[in-house]
Structure 1
Amino acid sequence: MTQLIQEQDIAKRVTLVGAVWDALLGVAKIAAGYLSQSQALMADGIHSLSDLVTDVFVYFASANSRQGPDENHPYGHLRFETLTTVFLGMVLILVALGIAYESLMADSSQAEFTWYGLAALIATIVIKEAIFHYTKKAGDKIGSKMLIANAWHSRSDALSSVAVLIGLIGVYFGYGWADMVASIIVALLIGKMAVSMVWENLAELVDTAPDPKLIAQIKETANSLKHVMAPHDVRARSMAGKIYLDMHIHVPSHASVSEGHYLGDLVAYTIKKAHSQVQDVMVHIDTDDKIQTESFILESGKPPHLKLPARHQILADLGFLLRQHTNYVDIPNTRLHYLNNCLDLEIIANSLKTPEGSDLNQLTARILQELKTTNYINKASVLWVFPE
């Protein structure tokens, strides 16, 4: 939770800095474009102000998307960031279409070269490029696709200003149409960036899998651990640049529940440490004998070991079969091993509670003999404990 709050503060601070400069540069270019009768310069000013509008959306999205999970949003609020990015892209597409339309309808012959227009463009190129690096560095640091998209929006403003600068120079040398061409280039730049933004984030909203190379690297990370074999059935989805991962791993057949839980936590920790973009890992534990039965499962649709009885039924059977041994056999703590589609039992018995003078070997033989009356036990053993 603390990390999410820190990321939220970084996103809000960076966005506010960009918003202040977008407002100043937008007003300056629109004023210079109006005085110069340059449609391209005014269009570039509108582009900067559109950055300001997106900054407002990004600011409020940052304040909400980095909140932790709650009852209604168990996976957190990161999809608010994705949805906001899609909305911003659609707004920018409309901006691009409007700029292109105004450029084609305007009379570019009235455009004039002015030194204040030139100064506004050069200032925009320098400042917006600096804002791009500042914002992108922050976006990479906290893994925010929305912040990175906003950074590229800033760079598109710098690039469009370069196009307008070329058009303004063309006007200076008597090519009035250069202003219109530059304005259309601005619209194309904005449109291309916006379409790419919408497409990438729509793919995220429908849970498109991340880069296959990244998934392969994650599987290699898990497979590098001892006693963890064949990571498989890996599923992943992205939320605002963060990856949520589900995967199966094989562990040794006789691993206890606690050991399996330990290995699952070890896998999750190792993956998150090696791949910073992974936010959460859900690990399903399979025993290594399951490797041999996976093809059968695919054909029949039901794992063979599910035909065996569950724990409550087995304990009920043991309570009846071992009713003469209940004084010293700890039936509730019987260990069950579902291995190779068979059931192995470990019966726990207390040596101090046996009748005086009892032979433990004879008691063990009697217990095992009585267990043979079942048709589902493959192997059984008796573990005698000797409390101090």
Structure 2
Amino acid sequence: MSELLQEQSIAKRVTLIGAIWDCLLGIAKIIAGYFSQSQALIADGIHSLSDLVTDVFVYFASSNARQGPDENHPYGHLRFETVTTVFLGIVLIVVAFGIGYESISSHTQAEFTWYGLAALLATIIIKEVIFHYTKSAGEKIQSKLLIANAWHSRSDALSSVAVLIGLIGVYFGYAWADMVASIVVALLIGKMAVEMIWENLAELVDTAPDPKLIAQIKDTANSLKNVMAPHDVRARSMAGKIYLDMHIHVPSYASVSEGHYLGDLVAYTIQKAHPQVADVMVHIDTDDKVQTDSFQNTDNKKPPHLNLPARHQIMADLGFLLRQHTDYLDIEHTKLHYLSDGLDIELIGLLDKVPEGRQLHHLSQAIYLDMKSAPYGNKVTVLWQSPEMDKV
């Protein structure tokens, strides 16, 4: 949670700094355009001021997107950032069309003035600095929204470049230079916006991340001992973060706690090696091939091992079948191993409860004989334990 709050703070600070400069530069260009009678410069100033609208969207989207999960949003709020990035892409397309249309339809001719030139140069330099500052922050916190807003800042710089080229062209007597430069810039902004929208729409429909990254993640999990053949890997992206579901094989006789340990180990190792992975959900499969294959069931057939009875039913049956042995059997702690070819049962015998004069071999044989009437039990084992040692 603290990491999300830190990312939220960075996003809000960067956006606020960009908004202040958008306001100052927009006012400066409008004033310079007014005194130089340059409609292109005034339009560019209005363009800078219009960036304030998107800055407001980015500011509030960053605040919402970096909040943690809640009851209505169990996966968090990062999709707010994705939707806002699509909106920014649409705004950039509108900006591109506006620049292109204005350059073709305008019948006014910009006038070259030194204070107009100074305003444009200041805009280009400052907006380029803001672009790199915002883009660097976006990459640091893996925020596509900040990166998109950085490119929006660069679009303002590019439009100022177009106006600057036009003014220089006018200075040297080439009146058409302003129109050509504006059209080229409009095409560049439009291309960038379409790519931005396409990438984030793909994220909204849960398109899988880069297959090379998924292969690297599988290799990371597969490098751990007692974790075999990671499979059924599913991943989705949310504002540059990856949420991962995967299955792993563990030894068939691993305990529940060992399986949980291995699952946590896989999740920790993946997130440490791949910081863009925000969450890993690990499903534990045994190393039994048939059982694993049965999980891949698109026709909703019941997996074979689910035809075996549940633990509560087996405990009730054992209590009846082994009623003559309850004095020295700890039936409650019986271990059940559900395998594709049947059920293996491990019974716990208590050495300190064995009646005097009774041999363990004879007691085990009696237990095995009573268990023969059970309708399940591929293999039955009795493990004799004492308070001083785990197993005998």
TM-score by length of 2: 0.93
1:193 paired with 2:192, answer yes
User: CA-to-partner distance for each residue in 1:239-260, whole Å, 9 max, x for gaps?
Assistant: 1111100000111111111010
Does 237-246 or 128-137 show the bigger shift?
128-137
Query: Which piece of structure 1 moves more, 205-214 or 367-376?
Result: 367-376
Deviating 4+ runs (over 6 angstroms): none
Residues 162 and 178, structure 2, Cα contact 8 Å, conserved in 1: no
Whether contact under 8 Å (1:43, 1:99) holds in the other structure is no
Residue of structure 1 in register with 2:18 after alignment: 18
Shift of 1:278: 0.6
**How far apart, CA to CA, are the structure 2 residues paired with 1:374 and 1:147?**
64
Q: Which amino acid aligns with 1:278?
A: V
Gaps of 5+ in 2: none
- Using the alignment, how far apart are the partners of 1:366 and 1:46 within structure 2? 93
Q: Which residue of 1 aligns with 2:104?
A: 104
Distance 1:296 1:106, change over 3 A: closer
Residue in 2 that maps onto 1:353: 353
Q: Is the deviation greater in 377-386 or in 33-42?
A: 33-42
Q: Residues 64 and 77 of structure 1 are in contact (CA less than 8 Å); yes or no, is this contact kept in structure 2?
A: yes
Q: Secondary structure at the match of 1:348?
A: strand
What whole-Å deviation, never above 9, does each CA across 1:52-84 have from its counterpart, x for those lacking one?
A: 221111111111111111111111111111111
Distance 1:372 1:379 in 2: 10
Partner of 2:280: 281
Q: Percent identity?
A: 79
| Aligned amino acid, residue 133 of structure 1 | H
1:124 — aligned with what?
123
SS at match of 1:231: strand
CA distance in 2, matches of 1:383, 1:12: 62
| d(CA) in 1 for partners of 2:18, 2:292 | 57
Displacement of 1:275 in angstroms is: 0.7
C-alpha distance in structure 2 between counterparts of 1:333 and 1:64, whole Å? 48
Shift of 1:219: 0.8
- Aligned twin of 2:162: 163
1:84-139 Cα deviation digits (max 9, x unpaired): 1112222332233233333322114x321111121122112211111111111111
In structure 1, how many angstroms separate the alpha carbons of the residues matched to 2:309 and 2:303? 13
Shift of the 220–81 alpha-carbon distance from structure 1 to 2, 3 Å rule, reads same
SS at match of 1:377: coil
Q: How many Å separate the matches in 1 of 2:14 and 2:240?
A: 18
Q: For residue 270 of structure 1, what is the aligned residue in structure 2? A: 269
Distance 2:259 2:57 in 1: 45
Q: Which amino acid aligns with 1:27?
A: I
Q: Provide the aligned C-alpha RMSD in A.
A: 1.9
Measured in 2, the distance between the counterparts of 1:291 and 1:131 equals 58
Shift in CA distance, 297/369, structure 1 to aligned 2, threshold 3 Å:
farther
- How many aligned positions are there? 387
Kept after mapping to 2: 8 A contact 1:334/1:345: yes
